[in-house]
Structure 1
Amino acid sequence: MSISALVAPQLPLLRRYARALTGSQGSGDSYVMAVLETLIADPTVFDRACDPRVATYKLFSRLWNSLSINAQPTQPPAKNLAEQRIETLTPLPRQAFLLTAVEGFSSAQAAEILGVPPEDFAKLLDIAGGQIGAQVCSRVLIIEDEPIIAMDLEALVRGLGHTVVGNARTHTEAVAMATAERPGLVLADIRLADGSSGLEAVNEILETFEVPIIFITAFPESLLTGQRPEPTFLIAKPFREDMVRAIISQALFFGEPASALAHRVA
């Protein structure tokens, strides 16, 4: 298959990424055009050994990071709050965050795009999470009946600069704490200590006020049914700490409130 056939389908999403990275569509398109000109001049720079989308972003990142001006944190004025927050992130952490949170690449794919080892990429996401946490410090309610997991989550949340307002082990405790504390984020298991449902607790909370919800569960198939609505943020147990940090940052960064889920989980 020709390089043009491989690259053309990637361009709309690459333009989105370039816009988020540069702060304007015009500037972003200039970098996308530079990618195309580079491919015309030397087609061998395109890495056919990997997925075409990864290869396209990989070339874009190589060009972007080769310019010393892009190593500086200052970017053109942003037009909305999310863009302003993106631009305050230092360059490599900003790229790591955008590649995973906005473009949907896995950590392994994003590490390949940026040309960094996986362990270094995890550090970039941690830095991005810390910088985002400094901007959007929040109060977090944890709904989790297993003490060790609850302690791990509390440590992760506090490490990102947020405050834990409580840890609920049952439906009743969860609703009571949420009503009293009005958290800015909820981390919720779906099967709780007394046999009650964290999902039902979340739905009851959402009847009172809107708040982003991250489900952390050993039973993700219970929520991913193909029906709508489904949760925006879902992490399977056993979880990776870097994944939890990234999703917390993503949920708070974009400030997307949850909607009540229509189906029930026993």
Structure 2
Amino acid sequence: MAADVKPQLLSEVVAGLLPYVRRYARALTGDQTSGDRFAAATLEALLTDRSVFEQGMPHKVALFHAFHRIWSSVGEPVASGETGVARQAQARLARLTPHTREALLLSTIEDFSREEIALIMDRELSQVDHLLAIAAREMESDISGRILVIEDEAIIALDLETIISEMGHRVSGVAATRRDAVRLARREPPDLILSDIQLADGSSGIDAVNQILETAGDTPVVFITAFPERLLTGERPEPAFVITKPYSEEQIRSAVSQAMFFASTETLIA
């Protein structure tokens, strides 16, 4: 259980956890700008009311609970007036069973336990289980397609291929370098790109993805990295879906399903 947080330490606690709230918010809305609005609103609320940190919850759970207070009060998952991909995300969100996406992301991407999700969402444990079951079914059954894997470690690449195939998607190619990734994407344009950051020859998965998207258009992207906090800084455009290594099969399945569903095309500028 978390102890009370002194005022002078609250900013340090929040700053350390903020990258994960921002990741969750972007994945939840399908758009970086909209996600950051919710994260900023959460910080503003904490300036006037820090009582959530005095309720005995672990700090990360408390911060996500504060976020959900804001999220639930707004009533719409994406702000009105969005265009392009964000508008598509808003339309698709409206078709989902309410609250299922939140439960799925909290479980698979943020790795909260069922008990922690119940605290964050202020729900009974049985309700969380029900939401998770519905979410997985709705996301995985919606869209399938060709996926390009950019990964330089053979064992990891094989594991990703297996997961992707079992989901009903087809691996269009596996690339270990930027050059190979661009070549494979030109040969057969993918419906989704699953990319590591550091590649075998010292090249960057970020550079590879950005080069591919110059001609591939609105292709959704999922990045995998051992250091997500280095990417989630708010100082440059960021991907909506970032998976932390070592990953779980559930994280891959969730991120791939949701990225395909929302066609999230935001990438990083290297």
Residue 178 of structure 1 and its aligned partner are, at CA, apart by 1.2
SS in structure 2 of the partner of residue 135 of structure 1: coil
Residue 132 of structure 1 and its aligned partner are, at CA, apart by 2.2
Tell me if 1:107 matches 2:107.
no
Q: What is the aligned counterpart of 1:83 among 94, 114, 131? A: 94
Contact 2:192/2:260 (8 A) holds in 1: yes
C-alpha separation in 2, matches of 1:56 and 1:145:
36
Aligned residue type for 1:220: P
Contact 1:125/1:246 (8 A) holds in 2: no
Q: Give me the CA root mean square deviation.
A: 3.6
Structure 2 partner of 1:174: 181
C-alpha separation in 2, matches of 1:141 and 1:182:
8
- CA gap of 1:180–1:130, structure 2 versus 1, over 3 A, is farther
Percent identity over the alignment?
41
Q: What is the aligned counterpart of 2:102 among 98, 112, 122? A: 98
Structure 2 partner of 1:243: 251
- CA gap of 1:148–1:207, structure 2 versus 1, over 3 A, is same
TM (norm. structure 2) is 0.57
| Structure 1 unaligned spans of 5+ | 1-47, 59-78, 88-93
State the Cα deviation string for residues 131-170 of structure 1 (Å, max 9, x = none). 4222211211110011111111112222222111111111
Larger Rg: 1
Alignment map for 1:103-142 (pairs within 5 Å): 107-108=112-113, 109-112=116-119, 113=121, 114-116=123-125, 121=129, 125=132, 128-142=135-149
Structure 2 partner of 1:195: 202
- CA gap of 1:126–1:167, structure 2 versus 1, over 3 A, is farther
- CA gap of 1:159–1:126, structure 2 versus 1, over 3 A, is farther
Aligned residue type for 1:242: E
Aligned residue type for 1:170: T
Contact 1:143/1:198 (8 A) holds in 2: yes
Residue 125 of structure 1 and its aligned partner are, at CA, apart by 4.4
Residue 175 of structure 1 and its aligned partner are, at CA, apart by 0.5
Structure 2 partner of 1:209: 216
Tell me if 1:165 matches 2:169.
no
- CA gap of 1:105–1:220, structure 2 versus 1, over 3 A, is closer
Contact 2:152/2:176 (8 A) holds in 1: yes
SS in structure 2 of the partner of residue 196 of structure 1: coil
State the Cα deviation string for residues 64-122 of structure 1 (Å, max 9, x = none). xxxxxxxxxxxxxxx934423x14xxxxxx644333449997532325555448xx95x
C-alpha separation in 1, matches of 2:212 and 2:185:
7
- CA gap of 1:131–1:204, structure 2 versus 1, over 3 A, is same
| Structure 2 unaligned spans of 5+ | 1-54, 70-89
C-alpha separation in 2, matches of 1:56 and 1:232:
17
C-alpha separation in 1, matches of 2:253 and 2:156:
14
Structure 2 partner of 1:223: 231
C-alpha separation in 2, matches of 1:222 and 1:191:
13
TM (norm. structure 1) is 0.58
Aligned residue type for 2:103: L
State the Cα deviation string for residues 202-224 of structure 1 (Å, max 9, x = none). 11011112311111012334423
Higher relative contact order (CA 8 A, sep 6+): 2
Contact 2:243/2:252 (8 A) holds in 1: yes
Contact 2:225/2:243 (8 A) holds in 1: yes
Residue 52 of structure 1 and its aligned partner are, at CA, apart by 9.3
SS in structure 2 of the partner of residue 140 of structure 1: strand
